[in-house]
A = this chain, B = another copy of it.
Amino acid sequence: MSAIDDLTGELARLPGIGRKTALRLAFHLLKAPSDDAQRLARAIVAVRERVRPCEVCGNLTEVTPCAICTSTRRDGTTVCVVEEASDIMAIERTGEYRGMYHVLGGRLSPLDGVGPSELNVEPLVRRVGGGVVQEVVLATNPSVEGEATAMYLRKLIGPLGVRVTRIARGLPVGGDLEYADGVTIAEALTHRREM
């Protein structure tokens, strides 16, 4: 197999990258300054070598515990539970949340063989039971599996005597009623608020 075919094949394994895009990227990497290609290759290797999960929350970090877990300016009494470390970045970008996180590493999905023991659930229970945490915000995705995971965690954590909340569902800001799906509109109506 040629080096171009080989690179195209590897690029096409990336999520959302089809055969044509992979080919375009491969040619770009061939034509780009040599430094650019080298830097990308090195960055891929470096990220694998330097980044690992935080021992406390599961966030991806180069120093463990991570900067969020060791921060003295954050609220240690609130833990936001997310499916993936990438969700933390999305929430941090909003600047609206100043508590801690806990990464499950996925969501319950019996069809894919993902049960509670495959997820980072036990450390969460231990953490919540430690006496410091007062609220657990369940921020798993608003999908069927994300909801099921949130339900499961609520049942598990509820008896520990902490507040368990779920992120709100409704119409996305900038969204359009006309294009929103029925379930979302129904949720938005049910959870309407006083103005």
User: What is the interface of chain A, defined by CB distance below 8 A to chain B?
Assistant: 2-4, 6-7, 9-11, 13-17, 21, 23-30, 34, 36-51, 60, 62, 84-86, 89
- Interface SS majority for chain A: helix
List 13 A-B pairs, Cβ < 8 Å.
A2-B51, A2-B62, A7-B40, A7-B43, A7-B44, A10-B43, A14-B28, A16-B25, A27-B60, A30-B47, A41-B42, A41-B44, A44-B44
Residues A23 and B62 in contact in the complex (CB < 8 Å), given A29-B48, A45-B38: no
Distance of A2 Cα from B92 Cα, bound (Å): 16
Taken together as a complex, chains A and B put the C-alpha atoms of A60 and B115 apart, in Å, by 49
Q: Is the CB of A39 within 8 A of B10?
A: yes
* Complex partner residue of A16 from B4, B6, B24, CB under 8 angstroms: B24
Min Cβ gap A1→B in Å is: 10
Shortest beta-carbon distance, A49 to chain B, in Å? 8
Bound state CA distance, A89 and B40, in angstroms? 25
B36→A6 contact, CB < 8 A: no
Interface contact A25-B29, CB-CB below 8 Å: no
